[in-house]
Amino acid sequence: TGYITLDDGYGNTGSCKSKITYIDGDAGVLRYRGIPIEELAEKSTFIESAYLVIFGKLPTVEERDRFAGLLMENAMIDEGMKKHFEAFPPSTHPMAITSAMVNLISGYEPEDMIINSEQEFEEAAAKLMSKVRTIAAASYKASIGEPIVYPRYDLRYAENFLHMMFTKPYKAYEPTPAVSRALNLFLLLHADHEQNCSTSTVRMVASSQANIFASCSAGVNALWGPRHGGANQAVIEMLEQIRDSDMDVKEYVRKVKNKEDGIKLMGFGHRVYRNFDPRSKILRKAADEMFDELEMTDPLLDIAQELADVALSDDYFVERKLYPNVDFYSGMILRAMGIPLNMFTVMFAIGRMPGWIANWKEINDDPKGRIYRPRQVYVGPTDQHWVLREER
Ligand code: CMC
Which of 23, 271, 328 gets mutated to test ligand 1 (max ligand atoms within 8 A of its CB)?
A: 271
Distances (CA, A) of 189 to 64, 84, 233, 330: 20, 31, 17, 10
The phi, psi pair for 234, rounded to 5°, reads: -65, -30
Compute the distance from residue 270 Cα to the ligand 1 centre, in Å: 6
Residues 6+ apart with CB under 8 A from 38: 278, 282
Ligand 1 contact via 203 beta carbon (within 6 Å): no
128 neighbors 216 (Cβ within 8 angstroms): yes
pLDDT value, residue 19: 98
Compute the distance from residue 312 Cα to the ligand 1 centre, in Å: 15
Q: Which atom of ligand 1 is nearest the CA belonging to 235? A: 44
Q: What is the ipTM metric for this complex?
A: 0.97
Ligand 1 contact via 353 beta carbon (within 6 Å): no
Ligand 1 contact via 229 beta carbon (within 6 Å): yes
Q: Which atom of ligand 1 is nearest the CA belonging to 228? A: 52
50 neighbors 237 (Cβ within 8 angstroms): no
For residues 386 and 392, what is the distance between their CA atoms, to the nearest angstrom? Answer: 9
Q: What is the pLDDT of residues 14-54, one digit of tens each?
A: 999 999 999 999 999 999 999 999 999 999 999 999 999 99
pLDDT value, residue 353: 98
Q: Which amino acid is at 292?
A: D
pLDDT value, residue 145: 86
**Residue bearing the CA closest to ligand 1, atom 35:** 227
Which of 186, 320, 326 gets mutated to test ligand 1 (max ligand atoms within 8 A of its CB)?
A: 320
Ligand 1 contact via 321 beta carbon (within 6 Å): no
Helices and strands: H and E segment counts in the chain: 17, 3
Q: List the pLDDT tens digit at each of the 392 positions of the chain.
A: 578 999 999 999 999 999 999 999 999 999 999 999 999 999 999 999 999 999 999 999 999 999 999 999 999 999 999 999 989 998 899 999 999 999 999 999 999 999 999 999 999 999 999 999 999 999 999 888 899 999 999 999 999 999 999 999 899 898 889 999 999 999 999 999 999 999 999 999 999 999 999 999 999 999 999 999 999 999 999 999 999 998 899 999 999 999 998 899 999 999 999 989 999 999 999 998 999 988 988 899 999 999 999 999 999 999 999 999 999 999 999 999 999 999 999 999 999 999 999 999 999 999 999 999 999 999 999 999 999 999 99
Q: Which atom of ligand 1 is nearest the CA belonging to 320? A: 21
161 neighbors 350 (Cβ within 8 angstroms): yes
Which of 280, 325, 348 gets mutated to test ligand 1 (max ligand atoms within 8 A of its CB)?
A: 325
Ligand 1 contact via 54 beta carbon (within 6 Å): no
- The catalytic residue positions are 270, 327
**pTM score, two decimals?**
0.95
- The side-by-side arrangement of strands in the sheet containing 21-24 is 21-24, 29-32, 35-36
Ligand 1 contact via 320 beta carbon (within 6 Å): yes
pLDDT value, residue 74: 97
pLDDT value, residue 1: 52
Ligand 1 contact via 327 beta carbon (within 6 Å): yes
Q: Which atom of ligand 1 is nearest the CA belonging to 256? A: 2
Ligand 1 contact via 23 beta carbon (within 6 Å): no
